[in-house]
Amino acid sequence: MPATLLTGVTSLADTPSLRATLEQQFALLKPVLDHLRHAALEPSPMLSEDWRGPAAESAAIFTRELQTKIGAAESVIDDTLRSLSAQIAYLL
């Protein structure tokens, strides 16, 4: 299968070159996913027994929002990495 069909965005001529590019992309993205997974498990940056009243509520809202956004980023990157893995495997 031509490389252009696999990526959908490039017109790289030869398969080894495309595979090398995809591997580079994978190598760049993998630490990002690791970091986001680690960040998702970490306690909230706002975690504190000293927050009281409205501040505690704001901190809780912020924490949920941050977790949602980190989760969304993690999910998209995970999908992208799976796609990259599949394409690299296909080009082997």
Residues near another protein (CB under 8 A)? 7-10, 12, 18, 21-22, 24-25, 28-29, 31-32, 35-36, 39, 45-51, 59, 62, 65-66, 69-70, 72-73, 76-77, 80, 83-84, 87
Distance CA 18, CA 82 (A): 16
Beta carbon of residue 29, minimum distance to another protein (angstroms, whole number): 6
Beta carbon of residue 41, minimum distance to another protein (angstroms, whole number): 13
Distance CA 60, CA 67 (A): 11
Distance CA 69, CA 73 (A): 6
Beta carbon of residue 42, minimum distance to another protein (angstroms, whole number): 8
Task: Tell me the torsion sign for CA atoms 22, 24, 26, 32.
Answer: negative
Please identify, using beta-carbon distances, which residue of 2 and 35 lies nearer to another protein.
35
